[in-house]
A and B are shown apart, each in its own frame.
Chain A
Amino acid sequence: MSKLTTSPKSYLIGFLLSLCLTLAAYLMVSRHTSSNGVLVFGVVCLALVQLFVQLKFFLHLGSESKPKWNLLVFGFMLGVLLILVFGSLWIMYNLNYHHGGYPVSPANPDAYTKQDEGIKL
């Protein structure tokens, strides 16, 4: 048992880091500092860093003694989560595409798709 995880110091570090990361993400978007693509990437990265910070300093994940069952269940959950979210997005994107694309739905989706994919009849 390390000293850090049972002292208020751990929570204070986690709190201050989370506060900075939240404010950074907020300022990036509200000031509109860069192009949309960069903003999306930056904001998502900041959220992932904050996830890591809170898991470590608030939930103390990974600092338990072996065997690390908590970490194992967390890893399994993460796998299910990624399959669920990216699987849904992938499938729905494909469906949208084969139904003529979003947001402008052309009158003849079949011809639209053929033209878009360069299929000549």
Chain B
Amino acid sequence: MSQLTNSNNQVDSRNIFGFWVYLMTDCILFATLFATFAVLRNNTYGGPSGHELFSLNFVLSETVILLTSSFTCGLAVLAAGRNEKKQAIFWFVVTFLLGLAFLTLEISEFRHLYIEGNSWRRSGFLSAFFTLVGTHGLHITAGLIWMFVMILKTMKRGLLVANQRRLIMLSLFWHFLDVIWIFIFTIVYLLGAVSR
């Protein structure tokens, strides 16, 4: 965080600290949703449980895509720190496309579940599942919109100090969503497949 800003002394690290505090409160939001899911995960009300619904191969591909996008986002912010505008835009576009691929996969999974009659109305387990994974998906959507705006801004006005600061915050947000996803992958999908 702050050592990234040190490369350009004009970037004020207090703003980034404020954003970090927001991320931590967002983490508590996810903690409540994880707690809800953990409490309700066995309450299937006679409906299907996790290991009948989820395909591990599918979720693994989602995970690898999101992880790769987190990596390319890191490369993008490094390029921005070196004031290499073209490279920064290139890596942010790659990150954006990977994020879009992840979101498409997630929506297709939700659609599939809904069509088969396993929507959030089916059981407590599925309500908790859709709330938790859907909230993460909403964050990804917000991140993608933000990233799109930032790519346009950087193209138009270049890597101004204000833009650099925003790009650092955006990258923090994106890495944070990847960290949340590790726990969704582990707790929802992997542990759902274990307990049968």
- Mark A residues whose CB is within 8 Å of B: 1-2, 5-8, 10-12, 14-15, 18-19, 22-23, 25-26, 29-30, 36, 39-40, 43-44, 46-47, 50-51, 54-55, 58-61, 63-65, 69-70, 73-74, 76-77, 80-81, 84-85, 88-89, 92, 102-103
Contacts and interface: CB of A to CB of B under 8 A. Distances in A.
Contact of B179 (A44, A54, A84): A54
Interface string B1-43: 1111011000000000100110011011001101110110010
Contacts, number: 134
A47 B188 CA distance: 12
Given A25-B190, A51-B182, A15 B68 contact: yes
B188 to A, nearest CB: 11
B150 interface: no
26 contacts: A5-B4, A6-B7, A15-B68, A15-B71, A18-B67, A19-B67, A25-B186, A25-B190, A40-B194, A40-B195, A44-B186, A47-B183, A47-B186, A54-B175, A54-B182, A55-B179, A59-B172, A60-B3, A64-B1, A73-B21, A81-B27, A81-B31, A84-B28, A85-B34, A85-B38, A88-B35
B81 interface: yes
B190 A74 contact: no
Interface string B50-94: 000000100010011001101100110010010000000000000
A60 B4 contact: yes
B185 interface: yes
B176 interface: yes
B193 interface: yes
Interface residues of B, number: 48
A85 B178 CA distance: 20
B52 to A, nearest CB: 15
Interface string B163-196: 0000000001001101100110111001101110
A26 B60 contact: yes
Contact of A19 (B27, B36, B64, B179): B64
